Each structure stands twice: as structure tokens, then as C-alpha cells.
Amino acid sequence: MWEVLESTRKLSEDSFQVQIDKQAIIDATGTLQNKGVQVPAWDCFYHWEGSDEKMVSYLLILDSINFCFWPEKGKAKWEIEYRSRKISGYYAMAASIGKAIESGVPLTRADYLAQLSLNSLKDILGGADNLQLLEDRLNILNEVGKVLLGDYEGSAGLLIEAAGKSALRLVRLLAEKFPSFRDVANYRGNEVLFYKRAQILAADLYGAFGGKDEGNFMDIDQLTCFADYKLPQVLRHLGILRYSSFLSKKIDQNILLKQGDLLEIEIRANTIFAVELMRQEFSRLGREIRAFEIDWILWNMGQDAGVGLKPYHRTLTTFY
């Protein structure tokens, strides 16, 4: 079995502070099925589109720094102006990088990334002093440029080619070559693998290229969902994830959970396994939806400001 799913399944069985309500999975999946919920199409409004090689570079850059968009306490969230509207979070990141490429900033060149400065990154992101972990994002982009130069002749396309049309091999390759993609935790002496951003890159390539060319992966169906802070928020709202009173109090009062804390690991692991159980339930109902597609559905639900969600858990981390 794919090691991300296997390690999170084992943890879920031993989880103390987070439980999966299997009846709620049946109920929620049935409701979504009855509503005829559709897998969201690839968003071409916020995402940049260009030549194949540059598209691969664009997505690698985007998913390298796709994390932690919530604001520090007492500060406003990071926003940009894009096509006459204010946008924030992931969409703002996707649009900012695309705008920079369109304006001639050579972001898709590995040598440029390797030497990118903090001031240049702030310019690219439209002034992001209130975006947390900005220096970490810079260090990650420098790392991406250096690894591409050292191992792949400066080409993101050669990195993808090295995976041999395997999404899982690409994820493992990213975790091996790029320390910033090595999203692994230790839970009571056992290694737990998440690989959130690495899996997202594989899924984004699939989405952007419509499952063809650089997005053609023979095992794309093996990806899990992407354990972040928005998905467990939605799963909790649906009653699928149930938190202990101790954990609920921490999250509802916006108390930070430290990266690597057992509470944080239990949330993320149970998120992955809960979505896998949803995938199985959809299949039982006669509909084949892959785990990463369920992720897309749930994530979009979480963007609906009127859904009345409780707070999401907050962990200051570059992994999500």
C-alpha cells in the first residue's frame, strides 16, 4: 500500500484526541452524492498558463511556497488586487506568481530562483510584509533553484520526466531531493508520512495538463488528500472528525499547535484516512472519485464564507 495512506491508517487506529465518525462519513457522502456534487475543474482564472516547460516551472514554484496563508494574530490577512478584485490566500499566491512571469520576471529560470532576494520576492508577491514565513518561502525557492541546477540541468521538466509518469515516484523524488518537501512526522516512535505539497504538485500537474503530457500519471488514483488546515475544518463541520474537548478548546480559541505536536499529527493523519473512507463510500455508492478529487471538493466547500465553519487549527509550518 502507498506509504502515506498506510502510515496514517495505522495512526488513526491508535488516535486519542481525534476520532473518525464512520456514520457521518456515510451520511455526508450520501448527501454529496444525492446533490450530484462535481469534481471542480482546473481553475484557469487564477492560475497562469504558458508553454509546457514554463507551466511545469510555474506549478513547482507555486506548490513550493503553498502554505500558511492565515494571518498572525492582530494583523490583516495578505491580499492583492487581481483583475479588479481583492483576493487572498492560495489564489493570491497563484495569481502573483503568474503576474510576475507575465511582466517578464524570469521566475521560471532555476538560476534566477537560486539567487532570488527577499526584496524581489516581496515585489513579486505585491508587498507581503503581513504574509507569515516569508523568509522561509525565500529559502525554499532558493533551494528549488539550486537543486534544479545541480541535478536537473536547471529544468523542472527533467525533474518531472525523472518520475517516469508515476505520481508516487514524483512525490518520493521531491521528498528525497528537496528537504522542504520532506513532510514527515514522528508519532509515538512511528514515522508518519504526509507529503502534502509534493502530492499537490502531482495533482496540479494532472489538473493543469488535463491528465496528458506532463500531467499524465499512470497511478494518479493512488494520491491521498492533502492534509492541511482547511480540510479538517470542513470534515469537522460535517461531523466526520470529532475532537476531544481538550483539543476543541484549543482550536476554537485559536491557540497555536506546535508543528510535530501529537495533536497536530492526529488531525492531519485522521484527515487523510477519513477522506480515504469517503472515497470507499463513494465507490460503494457506484461512483469512483479519487481521494485528491474529494480533497478539491471539500477545499472548495471551505472557501464558502457562508458555510459557518468553526475555526481551523493553526500551526506555523512550511508544510501546509
pLDDT at 305: 61
Instruction: Give me the chain's average pLDDT, please.
Output: 96
Q: Which residues does the chain have with pLDDT short of 70?
A: 1, 305-307
Q: What is the pLDDT of residue 307?
A: 66
Which amino acid would we find at residue 196?
K
Nearest to residue 226, comparing CAs of 247, 203, 207?
203
Look up residue 17 and give its amino acid: Q
Write out pLDDT tens, residues 200-228: 999 999 999 999 999 999 999 999 999 99
The widest CA-to-CA distance across the chain, in whole angstroms, is 53
228 catalytically annotated:
yes
Nearest-CA neighbor of 280 among 29, 37, 13?
A: 29
Cα gap 16→176, rounded to integer Å:
31
Annotated catalytic residue within 123, 228, 261, 295:
228
Taking the alpha carbons of 15, 17, 20, 23 in that order, is the dihedral positive or negative?
positive
Between the two ends of the chain, the Cα-to-Cα distance in Å is 24
Whole-number pLDDT of residue 251: 98
CA 241 to CA 234: how far, in whole Å? 9
Q: Residue count of the chain, please give it.
A: 320
Rg (CA), the chain: 19
151: cell is: 541535478
Give the side-chain half-sphere CA count within 13 A for 244: 10
